[in-house]
Amino acid sequence: MTEIDLILDASFTPTYEDICCYMNKAVQEGWQEMNAFIQQSYKASPKLAYSKCSAKPGWNIKYKKAGKSICTLYPEKDGFIALVVISLDLVPLVEAMTNEFETEVLETVRTAKPFNGTKWLMIQVTNDSVLNNVKRLILLKNL
Give CA separation, 68 vs 64, 84, 117, 124, in Å: 5, 12, 15, 22
Q: Is the pLDDT of residue 1 over 50?
A: no
Question: Domain limits of the chain?
Answer: 16-141
pTM equals 0.92
| pLDDT single digits (tens) 63-76 | 999 999 999 999 99
